[in-house]
Amino acid sequence: MRQEGHRVRILGGYQINRNFAAELGYHDLGKMKATAPGASLDIKASAWELVGIGAWPVANQFSVYGKLGFYQGEVKAGASLTGVGSGSIKETNTDLTYGLGVQYDVSREFGIRGEWQRYGKLGVVTSAAISTSTC
């Protein structure tokens, strides 16, 4: 399986004070594709999130932080098999997200981050509408 395209993250928020902030974000988590003779599988995922951030200043412009909130994620998958047909599935779910990171404040309005973030159960298929068509 190989990853295609770019992953995009757009975040915006409001910093209440040096230690607390609220943030809304959109994450295009990318597209993956797998192929074999006569078969293919495409998967694409994205998520919207609303999180609270707790930050701890380490130095004047550096801080470490934790984030906790909720996300609504969507995973779309399509597959085709020569001689059998093709099908697609879309799953949407809402769950908890959390993460840890470091931030460098370039200015009062702009910061650069490095972070790790977890989305629980993104793309777990519990029910789905499947449509098929023959090639």
pLDDT of residue 131 exceeding 80: no
Residue 70 or residue 122, greater confidence:
70
Query: Is 2-133 a domain of CATH 3.60.40.10?
Result: no
Average pLDDT over residues 32-38: 86
pLDDT of residue 130 exceeding 60: no
Average pLDDT, the chain: 84
51-83 residue pLDDT tens: 999 999 999 899 999 999 999 999 998 888 888
Block residue for tokens 């951030």: 53
pLDDT of residue 85: 84
State how beta strands 131-133 and 39-57 pair: unpaired
Residue 53 or residue 37, greater confidence:
53
pLDDT of residue 98: 94
pLDDT of residue 35: 85
Q: Would you kindly state where each structural domain of the chain is located, as residue ranges?
A: 2-133
SS3 state at 95: strand
pTM of the prediction? 0.73
Average pLDDT over residues 102-115: 88
The Cα 98–Cα 117 span in angstroms is: 6
pLDDT of residue 129 exceeding 50: no
What is the rounded end-to-end Cα distance, in angstroms, of the chain?
23
